[in-house]
Amino acid sequence: MAREIRKVGVVGLGTMGAGIAQVCVQGGVEVVGCEVSAELGERAAERIGHFLTRAVEKGRMEQADRDAAMGRVRLTTELGDLAGCDLVIEAAFEDLDVKRELFAELDRLVGDDAILATNTSALSVTEIAAATERPERVVGMHFFNPAPLMALVEIVRTELTADEVFDAAYAFAERVGKTPIRCHDTPGFVVNRVLIPLLNDCVRVLDEARVTPEDLDKGMKHGAGWPMGPCELVDLVGIDIHIHASEALYAALREPRMAPPPRLVRMAQAGLLGRKTGSGFYTYDE
């Protein structure tokens, strides 16, 4: 039987971290959210509260449940305040050095039985775990964006991850309403290993076939059964995020299809990052 996880720490409360924290509090788990400044933490809490309020307005949640969920959120700027957590999920910027430094510090601060998880989408869980004295307690928990809406969580084990840790992470993902899958540490894990080169191919087709983003999206939705077109999807993920993941996969595998297409690089350089900037392949009124 997998160990019970009662309190979760989330390091980094950007879009992904705040979404993961929301998933946890909605699942009845106490969360300690850590950000570099109180202002960023409060902004994340407001974002969580906003989405939970919308759930109440749409009849998907009772007001009392919304208030109880928000009562399970505690904010801090000190990593030491995560010492009592059973599980700490890191959702910091996708930079290997940043993550290794964080894990080395967390390894010293949290209890001996605590699980350390990284939400990385493309970096090596093994290399992150190597920064700790106890790599057997490190596991990947890759939530997908937006975390409250996307069901999938990839549970990623390294060669050193303990079976108990792996099973506990899997059981926790199920407990908070997600659909986890098990995999081993490999570049891109499962979904991104398949999806990133496929999306890159789609973007290259825009120029090669001289098709519009609208028609490409229609083609993949109505011809391949995709629920969302590739241009819509890259806009939602963030063009800069997609490029970063592509570069990480290309660096690891040296397969040309993994490299970000020049068109995406030019868009990022121009600040056209998709929904979050109001313009990417499409224009958004937000």
* Three-state secondary structure of 111-134: CCCCEEEECCCCCCHHHHHCCCCC
Q: Do residues 231 and 217 lie in contact, with contact meaning Cβ atoms separated by under 8 Å?
A: yes
Could you give the residue ranges of the DSSP H alpha helices within the chain? 15-26, 38-57, 63-71, 96-109, 125-129, 163-175, 191-208, 213-223, 230-237, 239-253, 262-269
Q: What is the pLDDT of residues 25-76, one digit of tens each?
A: 999 999 999 999 999 999 999 999 999 999 999 999 999 999 999 999 999 9
Give residue 147's pLDDT. 95
Active-site pick, 192, 200, 232, 246: 192
Q: Is 37 a catalytic residue?
A: no
Which residues partner with 115 through β-bridges?
A: 87
Local structure of 18: helix, strand or coil: helix
Q: Is 242 a catalytic residue?
A: no
- This prediction's pTM: 0.92
Q: Do residues 268 and 243 lie in contact, with contact meaning Cβ atoms separated by under 8 Å?
A: yes
Q: Is 192 a catalytic residue?
A: yes
All structural domains of the chain, each given as residue ranges with its CATH number in brackets, are 7-184 (3.40.50.720), 193-277 (1.10.1040.10)
Active-site pick, 30, 94, 142, 244: 142
Give residue 4's pLDDT. 84
Q: Is 142 a catalytic residue?
A: yes
Q: What is the pLDDT of residues 181-207, one digit of tens each?
A: 999 999 999 999 999 999 999 999 999
Local structure of 89: helix, strand or coil: strand
Q: Do residues 101 and 72 lie in contact, with contact meaning Cβ atoms separated by under 8 Å?
A: no
Cα distance between residue 186 and residue 117, in whole Å: 16
Strand ranges of the sheet holding 87-90, from the earlier edge strand across to the other edge: 73-76, 30-34, 7-11, 87-90, 115-118, 138-143, 152-157, 179-184
